[in-house]
Structure 1
């Protein structure tokens, strides 16, 4: 395992997960604000580690494995926290769809790698937009309050539904790309 700056940033994202979990439940003032801020910093490292890895030619097999794992762990754990704190069906359904898609696409990518077709299911631009909408919606739902008259929570609900549409669209694209292998 090679520890370079991009890999350290990815490990930071993983380390931020238990920190967010603990702060979420701490009896402190504004715990959800602190969680949202930590999530924002961790999300920025997701973009930054990939940029640095490509720009400085620091890509490693370990980093390529760890980066999507860190992203999925962070998103899934925080989504579970959000649903646990607000178990409304209109939040639980999109969260279940997002988590189901993450598991399905990760499994599809693993299977495609096993049959030597990993490059067929590379991340698409829709997947990148999905991630962007998802991260912003999670920040809004984590924060869960109005900010200077802006209904941040409602914005989070709208954005999570947009991310669900993009989630299903990108999953459909991956399935279409894998169909030739399914037919063999």
Structure 2
């Protein structure tokens, strides 16, 4: 269960509180250090998937933990940036990204229960969106939000592009799942009510 691919995923989860602690230290190097840590997390994300596929190390534990680690890392980084940028221009795309992750995670879980998980598998658009998110977050973490307007502008453009792709990929997933969603009976819905 704790093969090298899963260990890389667990390292990514350990990075989450570390990112928050580093970002809120009183030192000027905190920006570059937190950006480097998030970038390293992005590299481990690509690496653990590659290793798992290449060496046939995929496990149910890894299949569960990998997307959870990704979403937690992105959500926490965006939360930190929402607080430090504290404006609607950043909060809006960040909120779109976080909300989309919740919707798609719930959709995937529900589709998996119905044996239709492959219907909402990760698409090319989703991978491009993830790459843009990582770039945007690294760029925005690496500088003090009160300075460096040009770098902040690059980060904002990237986060808006990621938010647009986020909505597009959500539409793609919902469209793929729509026949199953539409065919869901009222009896099944009542069983799912809590």
Q: TM-score, normalised by structure 1?
A: 0.95
Whole-angstrom CA distance in 2 between matches of 1:82 and 1:106: 22
Determine the structure 1 residue equivalent to 2:40.
Answer: 41
Displacement of 1:150 after TM fit? 9.2
> Does the 8 Å CA contact 1:145/1:152 hold for their aligned counterparts?
no
**Residue segments in structure 1 that go unaligned for 5+ positions in a row:** none
> Does the 8 Å CA contact 1:10/1:67 hold for their aligned counterparts?
yes
After the TM superposition, which of the residue ranges 107-116 and 123-132 deviates more from structure 2? 107-116
Determine the structure 1 residue equivalent to 2:188.
Answer: none
Give the root-mean-square deviation of aligned CA atoms: 1.4
Determine the structure 2 residue equivalent to 1:109.
Answer: 108
Determine the structure 1 residue equivalent to 2:190.
Answer: none
Whole-angstrom CA distance in 2 between matches of 1:29 and 1:159: 24
Aligned length: 181
**Residue segments in structure 2 that go unaligned for 5+ positions in a row:** 184-194
Residues 122-163 of structure 1 show CA distances to partners (whole Å, capped at 9, x for unaligned) of 0000000000000000001111359xx993221110000000
Displacement of 1:64 after TM fit? 0.6
Whole-angstrom CA distance in 1 between matches of 2:22 and 2:120: 36
Whole-angstrom CA distance in 2 between matches of 1:106 and 1:59: 20
Whole-angstrom CA distance in 2 between matches of 1:179 and 1:168: 16
Residues 7-65 of structure 1 show CA distances to partners (whole Å, capped at 9, x for unaligned) of 00000000000101101111123211110011111110000000000001111010010
Whole-angstrom CA distance in 2 between matches of 1:67 and 1:18: 17
1:134-145 correspondence to structure 2 within 5 Å? 134-144=133-143
Determine the structure 1 residue equivalent to 2:165.
Answer: 166
1:58-97 correspondence to structure 2 within 5 Å? 58-97=57-96
> Does the 8 Å CA contact 1:145/1:151 hold for their aligned counterparts?
no
1:140-155 correspondence to structure 2 within 5 Å? 140-144=139-143, 151-155=150-154
Q: TM-score, normalised by structure 2?
A: 0.90
Whole-angstrom CA distance in 2 between matches of 1:62 and 1:12: 15
Whole-angstrom CA distance in 2 between matches of 1:158 and 1:150: 12
Whole-angstrom CA distance in 2 between matches of 1:86 and 1:128: 26
